[in-house]
């Protein structure tokens, strides 16, 4: 070979392949955009091997090659096995900062950081063994001491005898790529950190609708054992079937570049009910990757629950306000009435301006207002339930009794927000209580009076009874007679009793059967006092009749008749007559016992009437006349319409 | 009876609208030696009896049906005639303040209690 051979550019000798064939630089491992260079080198090598005649052409190729080396954007350096640099192209000067003059003959170690000097040994070892060091990434040093990220490919250089005499190095500056990679790495890390740190369930969904990724919080929220439980599964499968159309629509809409949001319920893997706020957006396709989707599912179960609870609590409050038999009002935190108070306004007729602050107390009874305000201020200061009773002037001017209760509402910081109070009209209760009290007093009075009556019955019976046994019988019968009258009165709400009923009920117990009692008279209704007194008289008459009169004989009869008699212009009187017949011959009694005093005097006296008592020899005849204040015609039958309604 | 209550020479008006009680009071007062005026069962009847009899004392039931005997009490007080109330009421209509000189005998009362009260007022 003559002239400048291509291999001399690097080493001063031709290059050979592993079989010893001279290849010039044909087997130099040049990568990337140096393909063209490599092709040229191969071509040049082939030419050099086969045709001595083509030396001129080879020389031309070598020059061309030299031009390419000179113009290469990668640093191309050759060195001897002792590490002395033998060639240095322009790219090497740009990369390392050394000019050719500065560096030729220098050790390659000038370019290697001190801590990496050992690399050179292993490189040399490989080169010496005829191996090629493939695109190995390392750090080299700029003239100024700055480290440079590089990719180095080193090939052995052989002389004409095939002896390895040096190495050629192609050094590529990969600082930019490194920086890009670092950026990407950091950006990936950042993204991952963000995804993992999110409290939401984040998922990346592939174009096929299956999960590519789920973050750790998503694993927790979904209550699965790990990402593997869901990654690879269709996203839909995490949802109840009813939600599938919604999911598909969301994906389709996201595909067109929209950010889609929806809320749906889906149980976790363990069946816990959860509500999710879902956002889904497409991750644009890049680097040939198909479109993917980012789904962010936020667990809003608690929020929805508390919203529901709030709605429920509000409607409960509204229902309570409706249901409460009273008016509801609010006061501010310091216990002043502010704002619209429709309930209070409707109750008292006060306007907003009138009830503002403590103006409401103007509607409270003057006697009750000062203690009310005092108690109210105490409750506000103590932050305790307020309970009070006072009188309030209603809009119509009427004083009504109210029970008042008010409770403070606290915020989460335990500060009073406002007071809610209820005024309940207890006037009815007060009246009922007063009435009850009256009834109790009345009952006590009547009971004691009744005891006094019974005492009188006992005492009067004792005076006339000949023996204890007779006393017992008479006493019991008198009480029974009184009880009969009470029974009749009770069935008529104590208004009175029909006379015919009274006669029969009082006399029948004395054996007035078998037609021995004859009653005759119009419907008459005795008022209650008259019923009691007439009942008593009938009882005493019957007692006497059984003992001394008609009913002491088997054939004796008693005829009871009554008429309404009109004496001239006077209002009618009730004339009630008892006539005994068929008994023993009557002799007037010598002694005036209790029974006689009752029938002869007291009943008439009590009822403002008169009595005519005759001891006819054929039988006793008793006639009681009582004034119209003591009786009425029979009350109209229930349901009978008044005449005016018929017209 | 340990005590002998003598109401001789007294004419006692009885005002009582319950027949049994009235009859009993009549016996009790009469047994004590007094003359009984009445029993009256209403206030007008009582006033009429006061007019027509020179009574020296009275036993008044307070409540008479729908009315009361307080008018009779005022009349007696004005006339200087002593009286006792005989009532089942705890005393809402009358109080010892209104009638300081009139004892209240609560129903049901023993005959002795009533007579003692009558004796007390008639001795003054």
Question: How far apart are alpha carbons A30 and A26 in whole angstroms?
Answer: 10
**Is the whole-model pTM more than 0.90?**
no
Query: What pLDDT, in 10s, does the model give residues A270-316?
Result: 888 888 899 998 888 776 667 888 899 888 888 888 888 888 888 88
Report the chain A residue with the minimal C-alpha distance to residue B89.
A445
Verify whether the Cβ–Cβ distance A448 to B88 is below 8 Å: yes
Question: How far apart are alpha carbons A74 and A33 in whole angstroms?
Answer: 10
Share of chain A above pLDDT 90, in %: 24
- The arithmetic mean of pLDDT across residues A168-183, rounded, is 86
Give the closest-approach CA distance of A613 to chain B in angstroms: 18
pLDDT of residue A512: 63
pLDDT of residue A53: 64
Written as one string, the DSSP assignment of A50-94 is: H-GGGHHHHHHHHHHHHHHHHH-SSEEEEEETT-BEEEE-HHHHH
Q: Does residue A340 have a pLDDT over 60?
A: yes
Q: Which of A452, A533, A534, A627 to mutate to test the interface with B (most CBs of B within 10 A)?
A: A452
Q: Which of B23, B46, B113 to mutate to test the interface with A (most CBs of A within 10 A)?
A: B23
Radius of gyration of chain A (CA): 63
Q: Are the CB atoms for B19 and B42 separated by under 8 Å?
A: no
In three-state form (DSSP H/G/I as H, E/B as E, the rest C), the secondary structure along A610-640 is: EEEEEEECCEEEEEEEECHHHEEECCCCCCC
Verify whether the Cβ–Cβ distance B21 to A594 is below 8 Å: no
Question: How far apart are alpha carbons B98 and B92 in whole angstroms?
Answer: 11
Query: What pLDDT, in 10s, does the model give residues A237-279?
Result: 888 888 888 888 888 888 888 888 988 888 888 888 888 899 9
Beta bridge partner(s), residue A276: A264, A299
Report the chain A residue with the minimal C-alpha distance to residue B44.
A608
Q: List the one residue out of B69, B29, B23, B26 whose CA is nearest residue B45.
A: B69
pLDDT of residue B84: 92
Q: Model ipTM? A: 0.89
| Banded pLDDT at B68 (limits 50, 70, 90) | confident
How is residue A291 annotated by DSSP? P
Which positions ≥6 away from A365 have C-beta within 8 Å? A390, A391, A392, A393, A399
Q: Does residue A325 have a pLDDT over 70?
A: yes
Give the closest-approach CA distance of A460 to chain B in angstroms: 6
DSSP SS3 for A127: helix
Q: Does residue A529 have a pLDDT over 50?
A: yes
Whose structure tokens read 């260079």? Answer: A37
How is residue A208 annotated by DSSP? T
Question: How far apart are alpha carbons A395 and A186 in whole angstroms?
Answer: 77
Beta bridge partner(s), residue A328: A422
Q: Are the CB atoms for B39 and B60 separated by under 8 Å?
A: no
Q: List the one residue out of A476, A477, A497, A478 whose CA is nearest residue A486.
A: A497
pLDDT of residue A362: 93
Q: Chain A within 8 Å of B88 (Cβ-Cβ)?
A: yes
Q: Does residue A633 have a pLDDT over 80?
A: no
Q: Chain A within 8 Å of B116 (Cβ-Cβ)?
A: no
Question: How far apart are alpha carbons A172 and A152 in whole angstroms?
Answer: 6
Verify whether the Cβ–Cβ distance B107 to A602 is below 8 Å: no
Q: Does residue A348 have a pLDDT over 90?
A: yes
Q: Does residue A635 have a pLDDT over 60?
A: no
How high is the mean pLDDT of chain A? 83
Question: Measured between CB atoms, which of A454, A463, A529 is closest to B27?
Answer: A463
How is residue B1 annotated by DSSP? -
Q: Does residue A32 have a pLDDT over 80?
A: no
Q: Does residue A33 have a pLDDT over 50?
A: no
Question: How far apart are alpha carbons A475 and A464 in whole angstroms?
Answer: 11
User: Looking at per-residue confidence, does B33 or A188 come out higher?
Assistant: B33
Cβ atoms < 10 Å from Cβ of A429: 12
DSSP SS3 for A467: coil
Which positions ≥6 away from A223 have C-beta within 8 Å? A268, A269, A270, A272
């Amino acid at each position: 070979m003559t002239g400048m051979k291509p291999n001399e550019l690097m080493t001063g000798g031709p290059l050979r392949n592993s079989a010893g064939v001279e290849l010039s630089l044909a087997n130099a491992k040049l990568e990337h955009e140096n393909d063209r260079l490599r092709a040229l080198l191969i071509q040049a090598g082939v030419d050099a091997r086969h045709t001595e005649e083509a030396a001129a052409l080879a020389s031309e190729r070598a020059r061309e090659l030299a031009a390419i080396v000179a113009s290469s954007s990668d640093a191309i350096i050759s060195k001897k096995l002792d590490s002395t640099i033998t060639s240095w192209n322009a790219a090497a000067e740009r990369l390392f900062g050394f000019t050719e003059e500065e560096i030729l003959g220098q050790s390659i170690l000038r370019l290697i950081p001190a801590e990496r000097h050992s690399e050179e040994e292993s490189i040399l070892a490989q080169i010496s063994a005829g191996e090629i060091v493939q695109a190995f990434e390392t750090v080299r040093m700029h003239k100024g001491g700055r480290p440079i990220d590089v990719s180095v490919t080193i090939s052995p250089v052989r002389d004409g005898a095939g002896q390895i005499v040096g190495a050629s190095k192609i050094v590529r500056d990969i600082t930019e790529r490194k920086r890009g990679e670092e950026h990407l790495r950091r950006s990936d890390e950042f993204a991952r950190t963000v995804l993992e740190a999110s409290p939401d369930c984040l998922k990346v969904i592939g174009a096929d609708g299956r999960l590519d990724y789920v973050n750790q919080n998503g694993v927790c929220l979904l209550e699965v054992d790990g990402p593997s439980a869901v990654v690879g599964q269709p996203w839909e499968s995490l949802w109840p079937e009813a939600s599938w159309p919604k999911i598909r629509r969301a994906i389709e809409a996201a595909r067109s570049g929209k950010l889609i949001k929806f809320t749906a319920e889906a149980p976790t893997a363990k069946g816990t009910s959860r509500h999710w706020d879902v956002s889904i957006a497409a991750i644009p396709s890049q680097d040939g990757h198909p479109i993917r989707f980012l789904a962010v599912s936020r667990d809003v179960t608690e929020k929805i629950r508390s919203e529901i609870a709030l709605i429920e609590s509000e409607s409960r409050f509204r229902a309570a306000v409706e249901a409460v038999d009273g008016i509801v009002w609010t006061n501010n935190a310091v216990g002043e009435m502010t704002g619209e108070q429709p309930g209070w306004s409707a109750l008292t007729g006060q306007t907003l301006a009138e009830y503002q602050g403590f103006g409401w107390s103007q509607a409270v009874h003057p006697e009750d207002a000062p203690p009310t305000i005092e108690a109210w201020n105490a409750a506000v200061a103590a932050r305790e339930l307020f309970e009070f009773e006072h009188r309030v002037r209603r809009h119509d001017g009427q004083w009504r009794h109210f029970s008042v209760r008010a409770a403070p509402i606290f915020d989460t910081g335990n500060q009073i927000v406002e007071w809610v109070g209820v005024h309940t009209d207890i006037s009815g209760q007060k009246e009922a209580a007063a009435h009850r009290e009256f009834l109790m007093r009345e009952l006590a009075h009547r009971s004691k009076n009744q005891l006094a009556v019974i005492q009188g019955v006992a005492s009067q019976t004792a005076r006339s009874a000949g023996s204890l046994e007779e006393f017992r019988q008479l006493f019991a019968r008198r009480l029974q007679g009184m009880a009969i009258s009470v029974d009749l009165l009770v069935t008529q709400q104590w208004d009175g009793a029909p006379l015919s009923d009274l006669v029969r009920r009082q006399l029948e117990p004395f054996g007035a059967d078998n037609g021995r009692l004859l009653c005759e008279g119009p419907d008459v209704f005795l008022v209650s006092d008259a019923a009691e007194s007439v009942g008593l008289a009938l009882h005493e008459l019957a007692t006497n009749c059984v003992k001394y009169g008609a009913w002491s004989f088997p054939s004796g009869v008693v005829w009871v008749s009554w008429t309404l008699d009109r004496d001239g212009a006077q209002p009618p009187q009730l004339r009630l007559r008892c006539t005994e017949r068929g008994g023993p011959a009557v002799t007037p009694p010598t002694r005036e016992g209790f029974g006689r005093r009752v029938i002869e005097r007291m009943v008439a006296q009590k009822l403002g009437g008169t009595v005519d008592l005759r001891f006819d020899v054929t039988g006793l005849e008793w006639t009681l006349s009582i004034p119209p204040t003591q009786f009425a015609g029979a009350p109209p039958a229930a349901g009978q319409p008044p005449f005016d309604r018929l017209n | 009876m340990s005590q002998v209550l003598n109401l001789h020479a007294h004419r006692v008006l009885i005002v009582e609208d319950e027949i049994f009680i009235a009859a009993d009071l009549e016996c009790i007062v009469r047994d004590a030696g007094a003359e009984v005026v009445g029993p009256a069962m209403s206030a007008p009847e009582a006033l009429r009896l006061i007019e027509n009899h020179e009574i020296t004392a009275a036993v008044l039931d307070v409540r008479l049906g729908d009315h009361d005997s307080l008018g009779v009490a005022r009349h007696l007080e004005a006339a200087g005639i002593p009286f006792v109330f005989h009532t089942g009421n705890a005393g809402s209509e009358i109080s010892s303040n209104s009638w300081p000189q009139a004892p209240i005998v609560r129903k049901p009362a023993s005959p002795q209690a009533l007579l003692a009260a009558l004796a007390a007022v008639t001795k003054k």
